[in-house]
Structure formats: C-alpha cells, structure tokens
Structure 1
Amino acid sequence: MKDLWIRLGMDPNSKDTWTQWPINLPPRNHFDLPEFAPRVWAAICELVGGEDRLRPSCRDWSDALVVNLGSATHEGKQVTHKDLKSWHVDGDAFVHYLDSPEQSVLIIPLFTDVLHNGGPTIICPERLKKVPKRLFDHPEGASPDLFPCGHVYFREEGHTGWADNAAATSKEVVEATGKVGDVYLLHPLMLHTTSRNELRHVRVIANPSAIMKEPDRLYRTDGNHSLVERKTIRAFLKPARVRIMEQMEKEAEERSALMSPSNETTDNA
C-alpha cells in the first residue's frame, strides 16, 4: 500500500488525476497466506473440506490490488442495485460449470476501510439458489455473466443478460463494507458487481482465488461434503429423504384416487 499512488500514477490529493476506475494492479510482492493471515487460511480450508483439497498455489497471495476511486460523473449520485450492470460470478479465464474447481471460494480482503456508498462490492445472496440451478440446466458450461456456451454473447462482456436481470429483480442486495483487514469469504457462485463509489473515498481490495485440486463432488457416496458443496446442494437439490417423502405422498394420493367413490362401480344386474 505504501507505493499505491506511484503504481497508479495518480496524485492522492488531486481527484482530477483519478481518471480510471476500477483499476486492477498487477502483482509486485507475494506472501504466504498461512503465515500472513493464519485465521483466514484456516477458514478457507474449513469451507472447502481441508487443505488437502486445495492446490498448493492457493497459499500464495499478492498485492494484485483492485482500486475503486469512483468518477466525477457519479460523485454524489446514489443509485440502487437495479441500476448496476456487469453482475457476474468470479472467473473470467475459464468456462463455468456447477462443479468447477477453479473458484472454490469468493475471497474479498479489504485493504482500506470500505464505507456505505464508498465503492464496496455489491453481493446478491438472494440469487444464490438460482445460479447453481442455471449451471445445472446448462451442463455445456457458461460465461461469468452466465451466458451458456454457444450463446452469441458467450465470449463478449458488457451485455445485459441473465445475471443482470436476476440481480435487478432481486429484492435486496448487500454491500461488502468493513474495516481494513476484514476478509469476506463467500460462496463461489455468489452474484456480485462493483459499485460506483459515490463518495469517492479510496477503496482498495483484492480478489485472490482458491483453486481446488479436483472438481466439487456433489454426489459423494460417503457424504463427506465440504461446507461449500453442501450449500450448493441445498441451493437447488432436494435431499434423498425429501425425495422419498414426496414420492410416498404422490403414491398415497394415487391410491386415494383409486379408492374414491367416483371410481366405485355399481352392479345393477
């Protein structure tokens, strides 16, 4: 953070030089996450089912910072989540499947205080049930904004589509605000987008990835699902117990229909 403004090529005291947002800075320095933030590392491992399920590269974090300084156009102008675009799930370098290993947890560490209307990431928990269902219905895979493979916009960014409509029609979203040092650990299929930073306070976060060695296994015979896998399953899959109960109820209704008076025959001979 000490050389942030040198890396940006901007003057912290002159907003006239803040001409770009958001800004993704390339990494300069790397550090070992278990040593740098052992509680964060432990929490990530717990969510995915253990350190042995993660690739060793997940230990490596860097100062590849994401900076949101807002713009003069949007300064002081508040909007609702319905006005925001580019809703997506993380991972622009791979095709998304329901069990994709490339993004096991959505991680958002805060490198500055992040205030309400101060450029926080906006998340949409209400749609966490719909995103897994979307990928389940499209086993051919989808883009980060959830256009399925083969769609005309699959390889193009900036088009309003399923993800934007899903977020716009949701009743509520959440701002990922907090104090410097806070870390958000979210389900990898959490819809989110950047906000406009109406306050134009300096907002700096990062967006490291946690890559699994193997794809998620949503049908483990031993039932040893990770917390992330369990959430995915509960989002749209019915437990076997529920499916059995529903089938029993259906069969009972069919038997009741067969036994109803309207189905009885009268012998008039």
Structure 2
Amino acid sequence: MTIDDNIPAGLSDAQVAQFMDDGFVRMDGAFSRHLAEEARAILWRDTGCDPDDPATWTKPVIRLGQYVQEPFVRAASGAALHDAFDRLAGKGRWHPRMAMGTFPVRFPSPEDPGDTGWHIDVSFGTAESDFFDWRANIVSRGRALLLLFLFSDVGEDDAPTRLRVGSHLEIARRLAPAGEEGLTLRELAAEGFDDTADCAEALATGEAGTVYLCHPFLVHAAQPHRGTRPRFIAQPPLLPAVPFSIDREDGDHSPVEQAIRKALGGK
C-alpha cells in the first residue's frame, strides 16, 4: 500500500441527493495528509512568512495564485474524487484539474480581512472586463462545480468558509429570468443576497485532505480567523467540458442540472 491508497470510495446515492438539496457535499480523506503537508511547505515559502514565528504573520489574508506542482495536481486527481465529479457534473462533462486555484491563506488576526461578504462565484467574462462585470447564468456557463480543498486542518475558529444551505436553489430562481446572458457580479451584489439570509449556515470544517464539492450557485462567504494556526485552502472551479443544459432531449441531466431544474419547478 502506498501513502495515498487509503482514499474513500466515491459518493453514495444519499450524498448525491444531499448535494442537490443542500448545494454541497463533504468528502473526507479525498487526498492524503502527506500531500497536504508537501503542498503547505510550498505555500509557506511563497507567503514569505515563518511557520514557527507568529510575529511574521502580519496580514489577515495572503492570496496566492495557481499551483501546478505535483502535490497539488495529485490532490485533485484521486480516483474517488474523479468519480464524484462524474456523479455530480456528468461523466465526460468536465476537465481534469491540472492546477490548483487561488489560495486565500488566512492568518489569526484582529484585523478585518475586508472580504467576508456573501456571494456566489461568477464564471464567465473577458480578460479585459472589470471583475465586477463577470457573469453567472442559469446554465452555469464556465463552471461545473465550486471546490474547496482543505490543505490544513480547519476547525470552527480557523476561518472556515461559511455556506448557506440550499441557497443554490434561490440563486437559480434569480438567474432564470436573465437567461443565457445572465447577471454580472455587480448586478448580483446590488441586489444583495438577503433572499438567502434565512438559509441555515454550515461551516466548511474538516481535516487536511477534505474536499467540499459545491453547486456553482451556492452562496458562501469568508470570515475572520479566530484560531491559532493559519488556514490553507484552495477554491478552484471544476471546468465544464461541454455546456450544461436544463432541457436535455435525452433527459440525462446531471445532479448539478437537476438541482437547477428542481429550483425552477421541474423534475
């Protein structure tokens, strides 16, 4: 047995149903602690901070970019994780991740990090566009899933991402009238996310190696770090290989599409 062999089986039918109802599912042990440790060593170097000297942790958050080194690619390449992508986004309908997305590394700090508002991740636009002009639409163009990879242990005090349970259904209803054009982040932010304020709140906690697989419309938010050790997570998208559709002639809708159909009163 290699150090990466102790990986769980894919998602159960109950977990797929939970994903459609709640907008996310948690997969424990999706990659090994060893890979997480290797990745953190690279990330620590790039923060410019000393992991053993809290005096060097002078910012509440440091954002790091794309990572293509082996530990990151292997973390996103496990058989069980790929099976989960098939189950949720549809077999053959997503691109394997060959890099790990942005890392907002959060440090214990009394300072307001300034990025804790509720939002969804918009998914299409142009390189020349202001980011607030990027869009989301009813068929989630450009994003099959939002993924949260935990590269450190994350407890309730360690700035876990906040998730509004079931909020993806309300966002689908908001996006539907805008059709293929969708809404910009500016338009979504102007309306606010008060229509999801009554949703129960969950926290994306877990041990290093945990992955949260989230519907692209799930409303979520960061929060300040009140713990003692910095938190390392990546939040890449799973990119679609073919466009999503909520009106497939063969009726072979993925759970991502089924959730949207459910929100709009379909089956």
Distance 1:11 1:30, change over 3 A: closer
* Match for residue 81 of structure 2 among 24, 32, 40: 40
SS of aligned partner of 1:62: coil
1:122 aligned to 162, 167, 171, which one? 162
- Aligned partners of 1:121 and 1:40: how far apart in 2? 20
**3-state SS of paired residue (1:67):** strand
Residue aligning to 1:7: 46
Q: Partner residue of 1:198?
A: 226
TM-score normalised by length of structure 1: 0.71
User: What is the DSSP-based 3-state SS (H/G/I as helix, E as strand, rest coil) of the residue aligned with 2:216?
Assistant: coil
Q: 1:93 to 1:225 in 2, by over 3 A?
A: closer
Distance 1:28 1:231 in 2: 31
User: In the superposition, relative to structure 1, how do residues 19 and 138 fare at CA in structure 2: closer, same or farther (>3 Å)?
Assistant: farther
User: For residues 235-246 of structure 1, what are the structure 2 equivalents within 5 Å?
Assistant: 235-239=263-267
**Secondary structure, aligned partner of 2:212:** strand
Matched, 1:165 2:181: no
Question: How far did 1:196 drift?
Answer: 0.8
CA contact (8 A) 1:100 1:216 kept: yes
Q: Percent identity?
A: 26
Matched, 1:231 2:259: yes
> Who wins on radius of gyration, i.e. which is larger?
1
SS of 2:244's partner is: coil
1:29 aligns with 2:60: no
Instruction: Output the TM-score relative to the length of structure 2.
Output: 0.71
Q: Distance in 2 between matches of 1:210 and 1:143?
A: 20
Gapped regions of structure 1 (runs ≥ 5): 76-83, 149-159, 240-269
| Superposed CA offset, 1:22-79 (max 9, x none) | 32212343444598422111111221110x2123xx331337533111422369xxxx
Please report how far the alpha carbon of residue 210 of structure 1 lies from its aligned counterpart in structure 2 after TM superposition.
1.2
8 Å CA contact 1:113–1:203 kept in 2: the answer is yes
Instruction: Please tell me whether residue 110 in structure 1 is matched to residue 150 in structure 2.
Output: yes
When residues 135 and 200 of structure 1 are mapped into structure 2, their CA distance, relative to the original with a 3 A threshold, is farther
Q: Does 1:69 align with 2:107?
A: yes
Q: Specify whether residues 63 and 105 from structure 1 end up closer, same or farther in structure 2 by C-alpha distance, changes over 3 A only.
A: closer
- Aligned match of 2:244: 216
Deviation of 1:86 after TM superposition, in Å, equals 2.1
Q: Which amino acid counterpart does residue 14 of structure 1 have in structure 2?
A: D
Tell me the secondary structure at the aligned position of residue 44 of structure 2. Answer: helix
Shift of 1:171: 4.7
For residues 59 and 213 of structure 2, the distance between their equivalents in structure 1, rounded to whole angstroms, comes to: 27
- The Cα of 1:191 is off from its aligned counterpart by 0.5
Amino acid in structure 2 at the alignment position of 1:235: A
Deviation at 1:183, TM superposition (A): 0.7
CA RMSD of aligned residues (A): 2.6
Structure 1 residues 28 and 198 mapped into 2: Cα distance closer, same or farther (>3 Å)?
A: same
Distance 2:101 2:42 in 1: 11
The answer as to whether partners of 1:127 and 1:170 remain within 8 angstroms in 2 is no
In the alignment, what sits opposite 2:216?
188
Once residues 63 and 14 of structure 1 are traced to their aligned partners in structure 2, the CA distance between those partners, rounded to angstroms, is 27
The code of the aligned residue for 1:39 comes to: A
Aligned residues: 215
Look up the equivalent residue of 1:142 and give its one-letter code: L
Structure 2: gaps (5+ residues): 1-39, 126-134
On the 8 A contact 2:66/2:100 being kept in 1, the answer is yes
- Kept in 1, the 8 Å contact 2:149–2:212? The answer is yes
